[in-house]
């Protein structure tokens, strides 16, 4: 039987093997609950809520979740970065700096532009309320547009293999986060996303759907354009499938596999 734990570091690098030099497989973000399948020295083998497995340093999680944390309403950090401060003022001590996608508990207390938050082991702090996002309830065209807008928040972010934050992100990390921050959990890797989503043709594609290519995925934003984290461009960029556009990516146009949708 596995043990439950919560990530208490802003970004927890998930490794393919229990070695510091091992390839980065994913980044598990603050507040994420994981199942500990095995423990080996300073490492734990974990299973995420989005069905991904790998090795984390043991110090990156806690099993000592407070009851308040368990029962409290949660919100995502939507700002690129958010300091958790000891008091509701900028000069206060910073406990931790969280990245977009971190999950934080809310106490319900507010002071002007500040919201009181709860860390997994029971410590309280303050975050700018405008940097938090409650679990959204959207559908239809509103949901599609929100997915596009979320993906565009990462424009210019450097490409990082296995990354999922404004510090660095890869193609499937971008699609994963754009959906997660809109209340939809899809698999982490592009191949698994392709198998998970309903396949449709290019002419059926709508904003918010995913475009699949060999080993690559992008988010369609309308008018033949898409946003993606591209290794060749070293960053999150907008490109096009329209051969008349200056943003045209002929290599991807010619390798297009299909579109995937869950919307």
The residue behind tokens 């939507």 is: 78
Identify the pLDDT of residue 2: 66
Look at the alpha carbons of 259, 159, 173, 20 in this order and tell me if their dihedral is positive or negative: positive
Residue 216 annotated as catalytic: yes
Identify the pLDDT of residue 140: 87
Q: Collect all residues with Cβ–Cβ distance below 8 Å to 141 and sequence separation of at least 6.
A: none
Report pLDDT digits (tens) over 178-222: 999 999 999 999 999 999 999 999 999 999 999 999 999 999 999
Residue 228 annotated as catalytic: yes
Reported for 157-161, long-range contacts at CB under 8 A and 24+ positions apart, including other chains, are 157/229, 157/235, 157/236, 158/234, 158/235, 159/229, 159/230, 159/231, 159/233, 159/234, 159/235, 159/236, 160/24, 161/23, 161/24, 161/231
**Are 30 and 103 contacting, i.e. CB atoms less than 8 angstroms apart?**
yes
Token pair listed for 251: 């290599």
Say yes or no to pLDDT of 1 above 70: no
Catalytic: which of 47, 94, 228, 258?
228
Say yes or no to pLDDT of 139 above 90: no
Provide the residue ranges of all domains of the chain, joining segments of one domain with +. 3-62, 67-134, 140-261
Catalytic: which of 47, 94, 171, 258?
171
Q: Would you say the CATH fold of 67-134 matches that of 3-62?
A: yes
Identify the pLDDT of residue 138: 74
Q: Collect all residues with Cβ–Cβ distance below 8 Å to 132 and sequence separation of at least 6.
A: 75, 76, 77, 78, 79, 82, 104, 106, 115, 117
Identify the pLDDT of residue 108: 95
Q: Give the domain 140-261 fold.
A: endopeptidase fold (from Nostoc punctiforme) (3.90.1720)
Token pair listed for 40: 């080996």
Residue 258 annotated as catalytic: no
CATH C-level class of 3-62 = mainly beta
Q: Give the domain 67-134 fold.
A: SH3 type barrels. (2.30.30)
Measured distance CA(114)–CA(144) in Å, rounded: 30
Stretch 214-240: mean pLDDT: 96
Among 52-61, 114-123, 131-140, 168-177, the range scoring the smallest mean pLDDT is 131-140
Stretch 160-171: mean pLDDT: 97
Query: 232 versus 114: which is more confidently predicted?
Result: 114
- Strand 11-15 and strand 132-134: the pairing is unpaired
134 falls in which pLDDT band (50, 70, 90)? confident
């Amino acid at each position: 039987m596995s043990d439950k734990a919560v990530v208490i570091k802003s970004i927890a690098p998930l490794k393919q093997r229990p070695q510091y030099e091992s390839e980065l497989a994913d980044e598990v973000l603050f507040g994420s609950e994981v199942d500990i399948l095995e423990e080996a020295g300073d490492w734990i083998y974990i299973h995420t809520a989005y069905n991904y497995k790998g090795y984390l340093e043991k110090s990156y999680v806690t099993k000592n979740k407070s009851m308040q944390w368990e029962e409290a309403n949660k919100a995502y950090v939507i700002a690129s970065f958010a300091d958790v401060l000891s008091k509701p003022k900028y000069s206060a001590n910073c406990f931790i700096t969280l990245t977009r996608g971190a999950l934080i508990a809310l106490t319900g207390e507010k002071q002007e532009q500040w919201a009181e938050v709860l860390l997994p082991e029971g410590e309280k702090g303050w975050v700018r309320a405008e940097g938090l996002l409650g679990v959204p309830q959207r559908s239809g065209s509103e949901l599609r547009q929100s997915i596009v807008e979320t993906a565009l928040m990462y424009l210019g972010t450097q490409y990082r293999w296995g990354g999922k934050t404004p510090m660095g992100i890869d193609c499937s990390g971008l699609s994963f986060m754009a959906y997660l921050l809109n209340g939809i959990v899809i698999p982490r890797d592009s191949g698994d996303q392709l198998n998970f989503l309903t396949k449709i043709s290019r002419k059926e594609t709508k904003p918010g759907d995913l475009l699949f290519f060999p080993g690559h995925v992008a988010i369609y934003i309308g008018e033949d354009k898409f946003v993606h984290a591209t290794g060749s461009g070293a960053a999150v960029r907008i490109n096009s499938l329209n051969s008349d556009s200056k943003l045209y990516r002929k290599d991807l146009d010619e390798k297009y596999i299909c579109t995937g949708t869950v919307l």
